[in-house]
Amino acid sequence: MSYKLFIWLIGFLIFTCTTRQVRAQIPEPTPTVTVNMKRAPLPEVLTEIEKQTGMFFSYESSLLEKLPNVSLVVRDEPLNYCLRRLFASLPIIYRITGQYIILKKKPQLFTISGFVRDSASYESLLNATIIEKISGRGSVSNNYGFYSITLPPGKVTLFTSYVGYEQKEVSFFLTKDTLIDLSLVSIGMLKEVVVRGLNPQSEVLNSRSGVFDVPAQRVKSMPALLGENDLIKTLQQLPGVAVGDEASTGLFVRGGGSDQNLYLLDGNPVYQINHLLGFFSAFNPDAVKNSVFYKESFPAEYGGRLSSVVDVRTNDGDRQHYHGNFSIGMLSVRANLEGPIWKDRTSFNVSFRRTWIDLLTTPIIAFTNNDNDRKESYGFHFFDINAKVNHSFSDRSRLYLSFYMGQDAFKNGEKSKEDEDKNDFHWRWGNLIGSAGWNYVINNKLFANVMVGYSRFRSHIWSENVSTTVYKGSAPDSPTEPGQKFLSLLENKYRSEIEDISFRTSFDYRPVVSHRIRIGTDYQYHSFHPENNSASIINWEKDNNVQSPVAQLTIKTRMPGHELSFYAEDEMLLTERLRVNVGLRYTLFTVQGEKYHSLQPRFSARYVLGKNWSAKFSYSKMNQYVHLLADTYISQPTDIWVPVTRRIPPMSSHQFSTSLCYNLNKKYDFILEGYYKRMNNLIEYRDHALPENTFNGWEDRVGIGKGRSYGLEFMVQKKVGKTSGWIGYTLSWSDRWYPDGSVNHGARYPYRYDNRHKVNVVLSRRLSRKVELTGTWMFASGNHITIPEYMYSGAGGQKINGFIPGDLSHVPGRGASAWNNYQLSPYHRLDLGANFYRYMKNGRIGIWNLSVYNVYLQPNPFTVKTVWKEGVRNEPKAALQQTILFLCMPSVSYTYKF
């Protein structure tokens, strides 16, 4: 099925659901007005309009008293247009009835604003729902917990709700602009909640599609691999997200690559999100408060990536009491502590996580070294630290400081006990992120945020080899005496780094309930250090300590870049049924003297078809100015981030989507969605070019091409009650092609993660206050890989799309007829988990988590490579060799909360 036919079918589906039969009517002629009056009394302007239109104004005489003079300059304009312009700045509203234009006093409106917070900790609650029950008007708190709602005077009843908290009602008489904080009480566990009517965040009423709110509690309730809950593994369970590789934390969203996802930690970009080579992400579940995942309908404030945005916000800290938790699993230990520094004003939150396996393996290796001639060393560990401090100067002004540091370290080596021979290898990689921000409520309708941020990812490899040579005295007349020692030192150092300094301002303006405007600017200074290498060879006489350098090589690369962005976004409720969101983002990126401009429009709309039905449409353009050079599909810290250059233009994408949403019994959301995405200026290693993650000459090794992805996604989810979760199905197509012939001879080929079918089932059941059961099941069509189909010796046998492995005269070559010419077997896996809660005195809780990864022992491969075996007539025959990491992995962890 071609993508054009696919898009036509989706459009026809939405059209048939939204079309209504309308009786044809002949419109009445619209009166037009020509007026040129400046600073004239309002009654004179009304009289002139009456003369030209034959209409009559009806109003109380006191209505026009004490009004300023007005100006109206129009030429042959419709009456409605003239009236809108005339009364726009006056406290008057009008209504046309037959030949009469009735004027009335515009009702006065007041604004209620404030923050939604946790009543105990004073923690701000993001995306909480606020509804005025009498009028039915609603609002949602922003990323800092701020809300604003404008209402007429009189009695109001605010109804506030948030998942995991008791609902709250506040009633009072509204007589002026009011600042009020709404404090909610945590219920400790998710109970059955009755909600009357749809809230503004329901899938039916939300103007955006493809957006998922992931609270921290959802992540912690999922089955855990090796006792580690993980945000990214939770996102992998959503429709439209490809499986990727076994046990990895990569996201491949709607045909996009792993480097096309924007990860934000308190507003700062995170370039390397993996621990333990991709088995776990850098987001500590104890530090995360809330996450929002976008795979389409991107807000204008986000940019710089093509496929998705993961916006992670960390805990602010309790302003009233000290408390925390301690956890130990099969792989790591975690600790969290929060509390007030200055009660009711200043709070802190600190989270720490570290592996403990190396603490066990180190003494074991030391014990085995006692009986060996060579002393071996081996070790791996990772750690991360999250810290945040919040201070409120007043109810309107708040300052926050956020810090993150995470690092992995690996070492391997050996040393001789008899001489000074040794081999050492050290590898460290990680992130350093910090930000300082200031929130200020300028008035009841306008919220401002200013932030300064720093983000750095660094990978550092250091190796040292020392060899000993003893002079035996064979050379005549040599000044060197027999038995004299000579040492040779070979030292290599490698470092790759990307560093960002950013400054951001944003404003959130809500003039009325049905109108929300967001504007802002963002400047980032990028400093790319793709490769800094140094290598040296030094010989010296051990006895005389005389050094003589033999060779030395130093390579340093640095590419600065400047990125400036402006954005504006307007969300409007045009009618009771139609809500639209229109945004525009402009970006200027400069590198190597080259300037790239990008204008990125964003649009989304929701139309309510019926009481529980709605249809949505969205379009987004995204640009990306960085590339990731990787020599494998497995994310590694040796992967290099490089910017666009004079020869390599920015990547861009255009994505269209349309969807139908239905809510059943206020509990179940059904979502059917179709999308089409086109990507330009993608890079891939050329035919015959070996994949490398080296920076030197990388522009010559890659081709520039296009990508396409389209499909259908279905999801039914239940967010509240004792049983919650979702079931999702994805039907998708994704491919690549390089028109210049640099890859696959210019022919179209399937993307590696072109999984035609994907099914996800995620369920959680609360049996009682003390027992919770969770389970996930995943099925996906197999990934595509390139396997050699023939062997040859010498250059004469080389064919199209083969590669050259060194000296062809001695080493056989291998070739494939096309890229990704083989599809692996389907991937499927069942994970089960159980949480057991033990409640103690003074609010302390002990939680045991038991999980089983891959319950029915499905052998899903971690890596697949081709091996050659002897076939018929001694001809080589290709076979696939799989590496299985986790055939079945039970785990246990314990958490103590105090």
Q: Which of 168, 184, 200 is the last residue of a domain?
A: 184
pLDDT of residue 639: 80
Listing DSSP states for 565-619 in one string gives: EEEEEEEEE-SSSEEEEEEEEEEEEEETTEEEEEEEEEEEEEEE-SSSEEEEEEE
Domain count, the chain: 3
Per-residue confidence band for 174, with pLDDT thresholds at 50, 70 and 90: confident
Under DSSP, is residue 670 helix (H, G, I), strand (E, B) or coil? strand
439 and 478 assigned to the same domain: yes
Identify the residue with better confidence: 93 or 867: 93
pLDDT of residue 800: 39
Listing DSSP states for 821-879 in one string gives: -EEPPPEEEEEEEEEEEEE-GGG-EEEEEEEEESTT-----SEEEEEEEE-GGG-EEEE
Identify the residue with better confidence: 550 or 340: 340
143 belongs to a structural domain: yes
pLDDT at 16 over 70: no
pLDDT of residue 377: 75
pLDDT of residue 195: 39
Per residue in 638-683, pLDDT (tens digit) is 788 899 999 999 999 999 999 999 988 888 899 999 999 999 999 9
Q: Which of 48, 75, 105 is the last residue of a domain?
A: 105
Identify the residue with better confidence: 542 or 488: 488
8 belongs to a structural domain: no
Q: How far apart are CA 682 and CA 708, in angstroms?
A: 11
98 belongs to a structural domain: yes
578 and 688 assigned to the same domain: yes
Most confident of 378-382, 409-413, 677-681: 677-681
pLDDT at 812 over 50: no
pLDDT mean over 167-187: 84
Per-residue confidence band for 6, with pLDDT thresholds at 50, 70 and 90: very low
Per-residue confidence band for 806, with pLDDT thresholds at 50, 70 and 90: very low
Q: What is the CATH number of the domain that holds 70?
A: 3.55.50.30
Q: What is the CATH number of the domain that holds 489?
A: 2.40.170.20
Q: Which residues pair with 120 in a beta bridge?
A: none
User: Encoding tokens for residue 30?
Assistant: 């619209």
391 belongs to a structural domain: yes
137 and 60 assigned to the same domain: no
Identify the residue with better confidence: 105 or 435: 435
874 belongs to a structural domain: yes
170 and 56 assigned to the same domain: no
pLDDT of residue 247: 67
pLDDT of residue 555: 79
pLDDT of residue 260: 94
pLDDT of residue 809: 34
pLDDT of residue 9: 45
Rounded (10°) CA dihedral 151, 130, 397, 523: -100
Most confident of 64-78, 585-599, 629-643, 800-814: 585-599
pLDDT of residue 127: 80
715 and 859 assigned to the same domain: yes
Of 71-75, 111-115, 344-348, 694-698, the poorest mean pLDDT is in: 694-698
On whether the CB atoms of residues 659 and 672 are closer than 8 A, the answer is yes
Under DSSP, is residue 85 helix (H, G, I), strand (E, B) or coil? helix
Q: Which of 82, 105, 128 is the last residue of a domain?
A: 105
Per-residue confidence band for 897, with pLDDT thresholds at 50, 70 and 90: very high
93 and 180 assigned to the same domain: no
pLDDT of residue 850: 92
Q: How far apart are the first and last CA of the chain?
A: 58
3-class SS string, 705-745: EEEEEEEEEEEEEECCCCEEEEEEEEEEEEEEECCCCCCHH
What are phi and psi for residue 508, nearest 5 degrees?
A: -120, 110
Residue 758 is inside which H or E element, if any?
A: strand 757-766
Strand pairing category for 146-151 and 110-118:
antiparallel
pLDDT of residue 484: 59
Of 117-131, 695-709, 821-835, the poorest mean pLDDT is in: 117-131
pLDDT at 877 over 60: yes
85 and 140 assigned to the same domain: no
Per residue in 440-479, pLDDT (tens digit) is 999 888 999 999 999 999 998 888 887 766 555 555 555 5
Of 61-70, 261-270, 556-565, 721-730, the poorest mean pLDDT is in: 61-70
pLDDT at 300 over 90: yes
Nearest C-alpha neighbor of 489 from the set 462, 511, 507: 462
On whether the CB atoms of residues 788 and 777 are closer than 8 A, the answer is no
Q: How far apart are CA 732 and CA 743, in angstroms?
A: 23
179 and 35 assigned to the same domain: no
pLDDT of residue 472: 55
Percentage of the chain exceeding pLDDT 70: 85
Per residue in 473-485, pLDDT (tens digit) is 555 555 555 555 6
Of 127-141, 440-454, 614-628, 742-756, the poorest mean pLDDT is in: 127-141
pLDDT of residue 701: 87
pLDDT at 873 over 90: no
pLDDT of residue 540: 63
pLDDT at 794 over 70: no
For 152, the domain range is 110-184
pLDDT at 699 over 50: yes
Most confident of 85-89, 298-302, 696-700, 888-892: 298-302
Q: What is the CATH number of the domain that holds 175?
A: 2.60.40.1120
Under DSSP, is residue 544 helix (H, G, I), strand (E, B) or coil? coil
What are phi and psi for residue 97, nearest 5 degrees?
A: -130, 105
Apex CA 33: angle with CA 31 and CA 37, to 5°? Answer: 160
Under DSSP, is residue 305 helix (H, G, I), strand (E, B) or coil? coil
268 belongs to a structural domain: no
Per-residue confidence band for 635, with pLDDT thresholds at 50, 70 and 90: low
pLDDT of residue 797: 43
pLDDT of residue 545: 57
Per-residue confidence band for 542, with pLDDT thresholds at 50, 70 and 90: low
User: Encoding tokens for residue 682?
Assistant: 């993608």
Of 188-202, 209-223, 362-376, 579-593, the poorest mean pLDDT is in: 188-202
Percentage of the chain exceeding pLDDT 90: 38
Of 297-306, 487-496, 841-850, the poorest mean pLDDT is in: 487-496
pLDDT of residue 88: 81
User: Residue 39: is it exposed, middle or buried by C-beta count within 10 angstroms (0-12/13-18/19+)?
Assistant: exposed
Q: How far apart are CA 478 and CA 320, in angstroms?
A: 81
263 belongs to a structural domain: no
125 belongs to a structural domain: yes
Per-residue confidence band for 851, with pLDDT thresholds at 50, 70 and 90: very high
409 and 477 assigned to the same domain: yes
Contacts of residue 563, defined as CB under 8 A and 6 or more positions apart, other chains included, come to 304, 522, 523, 524, 525, 526, 587, 588, 589, 625
Per-residue confidence band for 547, with pLDDT thresholds at 50, 70 and 90: low
569 and 662 assigned to the same domain: yes
* DSSP designation for 28: P
Q: How far apart are CA 79 and CA 641, in angstroms?
A: 59
559 and 679 assigned to the same domain: yes
On whether the CB atoms of residues 267 and 435 are closer than 8 A, the answer is yes
761 and 851 assigned to the same domain: yes
* Packing angle, helices 79-87 and 42-53, rounded to 10: 170
pLDDT mean over 247-269: 90
pLDDT of residue 847: 92
